[in-house]
Amino acid sequence: MDRIIGIDLGTTNSVVAFTDPNGVTEVIAGKDGDRIVPSVVYFPQGGDPVVGTAAKQYAVVEPDRVAKLFKRGMGERTFQPDGSPFTVDGKTWSPEELSSLVLRKLVQMAEEHFGEPVRRAIITVPAYFGEPERAATRSAGELIGLDVLRILNEPTAAAFAHGLEHAGQPGRVLVFDLGGGTFDVTIMDVGADGALEVVGTGGDRRLGGADFDQLIYEQMEQTVSKAGGNLAADPWTKADAYAKAEEVKKELSSLDSSTRPITAGGRPVMFSLSRAEFEGLIKQQLQAVGDITLYTLENADVAPADITTVLMVGGSSRIPAFHTLLADTCGREPTFSRNLDEDVARGAAVLATKLGGELNPRSQLAAIPPPVDTASHALGVTVLVDERLGTERNSIVIPAGTAIPVSREETYQTAAANQKQINVRLNEGDDEDLEFVRELGSSIGTFTRPVPKGHPIRVEMSYTADQLIRVKAFDGQDGTFLCEFEVERKSNLSDLEKKAARSFLASVDVK
Amino acid sequence: MPATKETWLRESALPARPTYDEMLHFFGIPPYSADRLDDNIAKKRRDWYAKTSSGNPRGREKAKQVVGLIQRISEALKRGTGGDVGGGATSEHIPDEVFATLEDLWRVVSAHVFNDDYDAALRAARRATEQWANNADSASVFAWVVSAGYESGNILHPSVLAEGLGAAQVAVNRAPRESRNWESQVSLLFANGRTREAITATENAGRTLPTLTPRLLVQRTQAFVATNDPEQAMVAAVRAVHESAADAYATAAVRSLATSLLVGWLAKNLLPIRSIDGLHRYVEMVGVAAWCSDGVPEAEDLVRPHRMWAANADQRVFTGSWQLRSFLAVLTDFISLPIHNAVSSTPAWQVLLRGLDEPTSDWAFRVIARPKYVQDVHNIHLVHTTNDL
């Protein structure tokens, strides 16, 4: 049986799941029994990389040989906040390569569980990921020979898992996904048949539980400093403090206060934090989350009162301050999925089996249409709006929130007399201001003859279900083809680097 | 409300010391009514926060700065009034401070101001005025805090600024020999929009104090600039530089501030040059600004493009017909050339003015407007090739 697994490749934790043809989903555990695999990679001297809980523990003793939070760098050359590359034993590891090690671990777990090779998967990403980040995620799978069937939005996967369990309850769902590294908020319409349609999405790919850990760590630094110590002086005590900061954060979700001993300069210092103090620390993040949620609702033209279900997903959603925030915003108590940390993978697994065509046609699952995915960011082209001053703007062709696959066209005009060429520049982003959009690609088209100013140009843009973007330009008058291009699904790795990475990864085992 | 991009939502900058009206306008009041202030602040913050996740790193950075500005201004708008100064899940209980001596008070308040904690500084200063009512020193401290808060853009609410001015006036009346009190009073007269009274205050200070402090000298210049009196502004600027020359630390700051005041005014009021008189006034003022900037690199950088434009603005540029010029030149064996050049030339400032007022692609305008210094002083950006859709 050619199984297709669903993978939640998270910033702090990853999960792999599988749905059988009858629609029964299981989250796959490793040999150690853990179903949640920390997205942490440790590179022991002279040994194979270690992924998961064991790697996380090494972060305390050998922090320079441990990579974590690399999902925040997907689509870029490095994940390190200071821009420096992550290098171990002379090899620089890109976020894609590190992610591929985590994927290798998850695939290994699945293969050990089923006793046969697993070659296909659906991988989830934050809804707010743009094209480069999605391309990098796909590339991470391809580096280990995985056929990535689809890149799926995490809130969509979570809502899909939740929708199955509550089939027959139509409404409007707000999925609040606050994980270790990213925050997504998605608004979906749920049909009576369980059909899901995304009507709006927003988020912040640099906001998550790891930031709250950082704030608690900074408080620890102050406490130690007042006791005459310096937490940052020693990499081991620093790493230990970070680990304890995470423990304190988790504990404060159920207790009013938490205390931990921190070692600094060989002496233990007691650190205590109350829930109220913690909420004071994350005041700005709370405001940011509230802002993003309201902004997403506004952009989707949905009033908070129209939300029928608020679904909390992701480990950091356990923090009570966020429940209160959502309850106040939407006027109803949030719903927690039973498996806060696993629902994204479960939803991906369900969709994987559905799309792979292995589903038993008599199963409940078969009757439910797959979720309609949408463009998380608008796609547009650069246009000249003031010839004299050279002012350019982004003209949106496919707005954010448009269901995909989609094909749209717009007509523009030449800017100068006797124009012979056009430069079609494709942008990703919801803003008209070019300062806030990212150029994805461009192509130059040549007219068959010089054309006057104001000559029409037709631009066709399509966004396929495989998240491929194609742009074509035609002479608006006679229909002559001018140029076309596809958004190159380039990761940050060149073809040469990918080839080298593939063969290197094939030569290492992952523990 | 439909999610349309209104002008006030897109505004991303404010002057260093915005007026209360400028701040309200930053948040869309008007056209919205004042009771919409909180909603508009939240909406603008949300919109700009969304941009911090844009795929463009430059855009992300700019958006972060604007979010910070929105936060700072919204807090400054309410600081000292007892209103909510920002989103947050909890509010701290702040214990009342008691000060044993005035030295204690100054130490505590200075530390708060140094740490940009104007909430704490105001609380402490207010507490002191309760502890030592009708006292010149506590009034002086309070006025100083409000003045420092105003000048750093952290205290902007009219009622607090008015309160600060009241305290400054008490301090000046009771301790007229303390220069700090005069400085606070002048600063708070500006803050309260009473600019002409600020000029009078500096004159009164001049009669009371042995000498005007560098700060008072700069404030005097600022007052004349604010009242659109360039002649007096230049006189005051020159005086400020002269009289602070003995203080090595102050002189660079005075030169820098005087230059930026003059350049700020002339850029706003004299450009683009619209007449011969305007040209002469511009050249004169740039000359004074250049003198003030001497020896202070950042001030010299500020005035340099203006010096270049002042030197070139009256240069004549041929704006006639090239073909006719060539024809006449050949016809008259080149005798007509200098005459035709003179007759068909226009001063650069006029060519630029014409080009700015009426959109044109004419050659002469593009030649005049091409140098960076011309574009910088006129705050324009020209592109020299056109392509794209």
Nearest to A14 by CA among A41, A52, A48: A52
Same domain, A106 and A253: no
The answer to whether residue A465 scores a pLDDT higher than 80 is no
Domain end (from A281, A296, A317): A281
The last residue of one of the domains, among B261, B287, B312, is: B312
Distance (Å, rounded) from C-alpha A417 to C-alpha B46?
Answer: 42
pLDDT of res. A488: 60
8 Å CB contact of A321 and B89: yes
Across the interface, do B389 and A383 touch by the CB < 8 Å criterion? yes
| A287, A288, A438 ranked by CB distance to B55: nearest | A438
Cα separation, B47 vs B3, in Å, equals 10
The answer to whether residue B386 scores a pLDDT higher than 50 is no
Residue of B nearest to A132 (CA): B55
> Chain B within 8 Å of A165 (Cβ-Cβ)?
no
Residue owning tokens 């002189």: B251
Task: Write the CA distances from A214 to A82, A197, A219, A242, B321, integer angstroms.
Answer: 15, 36, 9, 7, 70
Among B312, B343, B359, which residue terminates a domain?
Answer: B312
Domain that holds residue B294: 211-312
Name which of A156, A172, A198 is nearest A330 in CA terms: A172
Which contacts of B112-120 are long-range, i.e. CB under 8 A and separated by 24 or more positions?
Answer: B113/B145, B113/B148, B113/B149, B116/B152, B116/B154, B118/B79, B118/B80, B118/B145, B118/B148, B118/B149, B118/B152, B118/B154, B118/B155, B119/B79, B119/B85, B120/B94
Compare all CA atoms of chain B with the CA of A290 and give the residue at the minimum distance: B46
Question: Nearest C-alpha of chain B: how many angstroms from A287?
Answer: 6
Distance CA B244, CA B242 (A): 6
Query: What is the side-by-side strand order in the sheet with A419-428?
Result: A391-398, A379-386, A419-428, A438-451
Both A426 and A407 in one domain: the answer is yes
| Contact flag A422-B389 (C-beta cutoff 8 Å) | yes
| Residue-wise pLDDT tens digits, A310-321 | 999 888 999 999
Question: Any idea what the CATH number is for the domain that residue A390 is in?
Answer: 2.60.34.10
Is the link from the previous residue into A405 a cis peptide, with omega within 30 of 0? yes
Across chain A, how many H-helices and E-strands are there? Answer: 12, 26
- My answer on whether B271 and B323 are in the same domain is no
Residue ending a domain, among B155, B176, B209, is B209
Q: Do B382 and A389 touch (CB under 8 A)?
A: yes
pLDDT band at A166 (very low <50, low <70, confident <90, very high): low
Domain contains A269: yes
CB contact under 8 A, B88 and A276: no
Are B360 and B300 part of one and the same domain?
no
Among A53-57, A60-64, A276-280, B17-21, top mean pLDDT goes to A276-280
- A326: pLDDT strictly greater than 60: yes
Residues A8 and A112 in one domain: yes
Structure tokens at B138: 């506590």
Say whether both A27 and A150 belong to one domain.
Answer: yes
> Is B91 a domain residue?
no
Query: Using 50, 70 and 90 to split pLDDT, how confident is the model at B213?
Result: very high
Measured between CB atoms, does A256 come within 8 Å of chain B? no
Restricting to A residues 41-70, those with a Cβ less than 8 Å away from any Cβ of B are none
What is the pLDDT at residue A314?
A: 86
Residue A162, pLDDT above cutoff 80: no
How far is it, in rounded angstroms, from Cα A435 to Cα B33? 31
* CATH code for the domain of A241: 3.90.640.10
Judge whether A349 and A25 are in contact, CB under 8 Å: yes
Same domain, B109 and B13: no
Residue in A424, A429, A457 nearest the CB of B55: A429
Cβ contacts of A292 on chain B, cutoff 8 Å = 46, 49-50
Is B205 in the same domain as B103? yes
Interface of A with B in 320-339 (CB under 8 A): 321, 324
Query: Which whole number is the average pLDDT over B347-362?
Result: 80
pLDDT at B1 over 80: no
The label of the residue with tokens 């939070």 reads A69
More confident residue, B340 or B193: B193
Segment B40-58, tens digit of pLDDT: 999 999 889 888 888 888 8
Nearest CA distance, A66 vs chain B (angstrom): 27
Looking at the structure of chain A, the number of domains it has is 3
Query: Where is A9: in which H helix or E strand?
Result: strand A4-9
Cα Rg of chain A (Å, integer) = 24
Rounded CA separation B65/A456 (Å): 40
Percent of chain A at pLDDT > 70 equals 95
Residues B113, B14 share a domain: no
What are the structure tokens assigned to A431, written together?
């803003």
Looking up residue B108, the CATH number of its domain turns out to be 1.25.40.10
Q: Considering only CB atoms, which chain A residues are within 8 Å of B380?
A: 389
Greater pLDDT, B57 or A40 = A40
* pLDDT at residue A491 tops 60: no
Q: Are residues A392 and A357 in the same domain?
A: no
Of B1, B63, B389, Cβ closest to residue A412? B389
Is B92 domain-assigned?
no
Interface membership of A397 toward B (CB under 8 Å): no
pLDDT of residue B87: 36
* Residue B83: pLDDT over 80: no
d(CA A289, CA A307): 17
- CA geometry: angle B324, B325, B331, nearest 5 deg: 85
Looking at the structure, tell me whether residues B283 and B182 fall in a common domain.
no
Give the confidence band of A40 by pLDDT, cuts at 50, 70, 90.
very high
- Alpha-carbon distance B87 to nearest alpha carbon in chain A (angstroms): 6
Task: Say whether both A143 and A14 belong to one domain.
Answer: yes
Bigger pLDDT: A389 vs B377: B377
Helices A495-507, A131-143: inter-axial angle, 10-degree rounding: 40
The first and second tokens of residue B119, run together, are 């909430």
Question: B357 lies in a domain?
Answer: yes
CB A16 within 8 A of CB A124: no
Query: What pLDDT, on a 0 to 100 scale, did the predictor assign at position B171?
Result: 95
Query: Chain A within 8 Å of B88 (Cβ-Cβ)?
Result: yes
Please indicate whether, in this complex, the C-beta atoms of A291 and B86 are within 8 angstroms of each other.
Answer: no
Does a structural domain hold residue B1? no
Give A381's strand partners.
A395, A426
Largest CA distance in chain B: 96
Q: Are residues A391 and A363 in the same domain?
A: no
Write down the ipTM of this complex: 0.78
- pLDDT surpasses 90 at B257: yes
A392 interfaces chain B, CB cutoff of 8 Å: yes
Q: Can you give the pLDDT at residue A70?
A: 92
A183 in B contact zone (CB under 8 Å):
no
Do B203 and B216 lie in one domain? The reply is no
Q: Which amino acid is at A325?
A: L
* Average pLDDT taken over every residue of chain A: 87
Average pLDDT over residues B149-169: 91
CA B223 → CA A401, B158, B237, B271, distances in Å?
53, 19, 11, 21
CATH of the domain at A59: 3.30.420.40
Residue B177 lies in a domain: yes
Is residue A397 domain-shared with residue A349, that is, in the same domain? no
Number of domains making up chain B: 4
B288-318, pLDDT tens digit by residue?
A: 999 999 999 999 999 999 999 999 999 988 8
Domain that holds residue A274: 209-281
Give the closest of A298, A390, A430 to B381, CB-based: A390
A382–B10 CB contact, under 8 Å: no
Closest CA to A144 of A470, A416, A498, A399: A498
Say if residue A163's pLDDT is above 50: yes
CB atoms within 10 A of CB B37: 18
The B residues from 126 to 165 touching A (CB cutoff 8 Å) are none
For residue A222, the surrounding DSSP H or E stretch is: helix A209-226
pLDDT of residue B182: 97
pLDDT for residue B154 = 86
Whether B90 shows a pLDDT value over 60: the answer reads no
Same-domain status, B138 and B198? yes
CB-nearest to A381 from B92, B387, B389 is B389
The pLDDT assigned to A152 comes to 87
How does DSSP assign A250-279, residue by residue? HHTTTSSEEEEEEEETTEEEEEEEEHHHHH
Of B50, B56, B383, which is closest to A202 when you measure between CB atoms?
B50
Q: Does B51 touch chain A (CB under 8 A)?
A: yes
Closest among B18, B19, B38 to B28, alpha carbons compared:
B38
Chain A residue numbers with beta carbons less than 8 Å from the beta carbon of B383 are 389-390
- Tokens found for residue B156: 């902007």
Closest residue of chain B to A294, computed from CA coordinates:
B46
Q: What is the spatial distance between Cα B320 and Cα B259, in angstroms, rounded to a whole number?
A: 39
Nearest Cα of chain B lies from the Cα of A157 at a distance, in angstroms, of 22
Q: Is A297 contained in some domain?
A: no
Chain B residue with the nearest C-alpha to that of A446 = B388
Q: Of A281, A309, A329, at which residue does a domain stop?
A: A281
Residue A82 counted as domain residue: yes
Q: How many beta carbons lie within 10 A of that of residue B235, not counting itself? A: 15
- Same domain as B304, residue B274: yes
Residue B197: predicted pLDDT: 95
Residue A345 lies in a domain: yes
Contact across the interface for A389 and B383, Cβ inside 8 Å: yes
Average pLDDT for A15-22: 92
Window 120-159 of A, Cβ < 8 Å to B:
128, 130, 132
Tell me which chain B residues have a C-beta less than 8 angstroms from the C-beta of A299: 3
Q: Are strands A91-93 and A196-204 parallel, antiparallel or unpaired?
A: unpaired
In-domain check, residue B93? no
Confidence of residue B104 (pLDDT cuts 50, 70, 90): confident
* Greater pLDDT, A424 or A152: A424
User: Residue A435 and residue B59: Cβ atoms within 8 Å?
Assistant: yes
> Which DSSP letter does residue A303 get?
-
A18 and A107 housed in the same domain: yes
The mean pLDDT of B314-342, rounded to a whole number, is 83
Q: Does A238 touch chain B (CB under 8 A)?
A: no
Q: What 3 state SS string does chain B have? A: CCCCCCHHHHCCCCCCCCCHHHHHHHCCCCCCCHHHHHHHHHHHHHHHHHHCCCCCHHHHHHHHHHHHHHHHHHHHHHCCCCCCCCCCCCCCCCCCCCCCCHHHHHHHHHHHHHCCCHHHHHHHHHHHHHHCCCCHHHHHHHHHHHHHHHHCCCCCCHHHHHHHHHHHHHHHHHCCCCHHHHHHHHHHHHHCCCHHHHHHHHHHHHHHCCCCCHHHHHHHHHHHHHCCCHHHHHHHHHHHHHHCCCCHHHHHHHHHHHHHHHHHHHHHHCCCCCCHHHHHHHHHHHHHHHHHHCCCHHHHHHHHHHHHHHHHCCCEEECCCHHHHHHHHHHCCCCHHHHHHHHCEEEHHHHHHHHHHCCCCCHHHHHHHCCHHHHHHHCCCCCCCCCCC
Give residue B84's pLDDT band: very low, low, confident or very high (50, 70, 90): very low
A432–B contact, CB cutoff 8 A: yes
- Segment A85-90 shows an average pLDDT of 90
Under the banding of pLDDT at 50, 70 and 90, the label for residue B93 is: very low
User: Is there a single domain that holds both residue B107 and residue B175?
Assistant: yes
- Rounded average pLDDT over A139-159: 88
Question: Does residue B306 lie within any of the structural domains?
Answer: yes
Same domain for A499 and A482? no
In a domain, A21, yes or no: yes
Half-sphere exposure of B321 (CA within 13 A, CB side): 5
Q: Between the ranges A21-35, A235-249, A403-417, B277-291, where is the mean pLDDT highest? A: B277-291
**Residue A76 near chain B (CB below 8 Å):** no
**Whether the predicted pLDDT of A47 surpasses 90:** no
Question: Is the minimum CB–CB distance between B93 and chain A shorter than 8 Å?
Answer: no
Report d(CA B85, CA B63) in Å as an integer.
Answer: 21
Listed in order, strand segments (DSSP E) in A115-218 are 120-125, 147-153, 171-178, 183-190, 196-204
Residue A298 burial (C-beta neighbours within 10 Å; 0-12, 13-18, 19+): buried
Same domain, A113 and A226: no
Minimal-distance CA residue of chain B relative to A288: B49
- The percentage of chain B sitting over the pLDDT mark of 90, rounded to a whole number, equals 52
Please check whether residue A433 is in contact with residue A419, taking contact to mean a CB–CB distance below 8 angstroms.
no
Nearest CA of chain A to the CA of B1: how many Å? Answer: 8
Q: What is the pLDDT of residues B164-183, one digit of tens each?
A: 999 999 999 999 999 999 99
B88/A425 Cβ within 8 A: no
How many inter-chain contacts (A to B, CB under 8 Å) are there? Answer: 126
A392 neighbourhood in chain B, CB within 8 Å? 388
B229 and B254 part of one domain = yes
- Considering only CB atoms, B54 lies closest to which of A280, A299, A431, namely A431
* B384 occurs within a structural domain: no
Is the bond leading into A49 cis (omega within 30 degrees of zero)?
A: no
Instruction: For residue A1, name the pLDDT band (cuts at 50, 70, 90).
Output: low
In a domain, A181, yes or no: no
Partner residue facing B388 (CB), from A206, A384, A430 = A384
Residue A348 to chain B, least CA–CA distance (Å): 25
Res B324 pLDDT > 50: yes
Q: Are residues A54 and A146 in the same domain?
A: yes
Measured between beta carbons, the chain A residues lying within 8 angstroms of B72 are none
Q: Are A342 and A15 in contact (CB under 8 A)?
A: yes
Of the listed ranges A164-178, A408-422, B239-253, the one predicted with least confidence:
A164-178
* Cross-chain Cβ contact A436/B383 below 8 Å: no
Phi first, then psi: give them for residue B372, nearest 5 degrees.
Answer: -60, -40
Interface residue of A322, A387, A431, A460 to substitute, partner B, most B CBs within 10 Å: A431
Q: Is residue A473 a contact partner of residue A483, using CB atoms and an 8 Å limit?
A: yes
Same domain? B199 vs B220: no
